[in-house]
Amino acid sequence: MTSVPTRLAATLSFRTIGAVYVWLAIVVLFSIWAPDTFPTAITVKQVLNGNAVAGLVALSVVPPLAARVFDLSVAYTMSLTSVLTAHFLVSTGLGPFTATALAMAAALLVGVVNALVVVVLRVDSFIATLATGALIQSLITMVTNDSSITGVQLLAKPFANIAQLDAGGITLPVLYLLLAALAIWFVLEHTATGRRLYATGFNADAARLQGVRTDRLRFGTLVTSALLSGFAGVVFASSVGSGSPTAGSPYLLSAYAAAFVGATQLRAGRFNAWGTVIAVLLLGTGITGLGLATSAQWAASLFTGSVLIVALVLTGGRIALPTVLRRRAGKLSGPDEPEGSTDDESRAVPAGGSRS
């Protein structure tokens, strides 16, 4: 049995919460770079409020990734619910509740279609959801003619309160983010469904032989992903007061960057909710700091892309490296260790996503 100091040291190690230390380093860097504008309470609120929607989209891809499924349609689903909510409010005169409910029903339909194509028709999830996204984009263009939908109905209460109501400068979307993270964390870490999801992601064939209904789980994750990204679209429309046909486009890269960075934190090698939230805030802090320190428009994309590459290296390399070193040591001292006998190899599956 390990001692309390040993457990605490493991919990606070760079291997466990390295993103937190990187986050703190970013805060120190920008506090020095932009001392008049960055280290303020306004910046803290800006990071939280400005990244709540991004956090919801990032969390929407965590359940599918835990089951080793990609959903690349989340950005399009977000755009769809954004424009549909605006369309129903402005063009048809429906009330906020009805408009939101119809938009979420459309998101549910997207999730079911994705699940049918991926789970029932056995189309690769990467290709299937990308194709679904293209179909969604065509529907968005048909509804909006590639123009944002605006109207006073989007600025009026109670619809505006969905995203603009605040307490002490912290808006409701931050609460939505925390509640979504709490729900996903509880399901993944404290229920049998979560254990089966991870088992499906690690090795679907082995999980199926143990009686896990892997197809049902993957079906559910795709529906959940669509609903959460769809809700993010409604929140976005309430926040900006319009329905944008490209609302979700900027969030796709950052969502997967956050999910993969999150897989290196807290539960290394596993996609998890709180690691993803940490990564969202890390990315948001960096992008906000770059915006305050420099006006270069390419800086934010460069930062996000660089973080994603580093995360992929960490999630793949840091887990596989100990196995490589042990094998090399075995060649010097004796027979090789049989393949597949280490925990590290099995844990590398959800991070790399390439083992079948």
Assess whether pLDDT exceeds 90 at residue 246. Answer: yes
At 12, is the pLDDT very low, low, confident or very high (cuts 50, 70, 90)?
A: confident
Share of residues in the chain with pLDDT > 90 (%): 63
C-alpha of 247 from chain center: 16
* Rounded Cα distance, 33 and 310, in Å: 23
pLDDT at 130: 95
259 neighbors 276 (Cβ within 8 angstroms) = yes
pTM, entire model: 0.85
Residues 176-227: pLDDT tens digits? 999 999 999 999 999 999 999 999 999 999 999 999 999 999 999 999 999 9
* HSE-up of residue 320 (Cα within 13 Å, Cβ side): 13
Assess whether pLDDT exceeds 70 at residue 317. Answer: no
Pick the residue with more confidence: 243 or 268?
A: 243
Residues 88-120: pLDDT tens digits? 999 888 999 999 999 999 999 999 999 999 999
At 265, is the pLDDT very low, low, confident or very high (cuts 50, 70, 90)?
A: confident
Left, alpha or beta for 313 (phi > 0: left; psi -120 to 50: alpha)? alpha
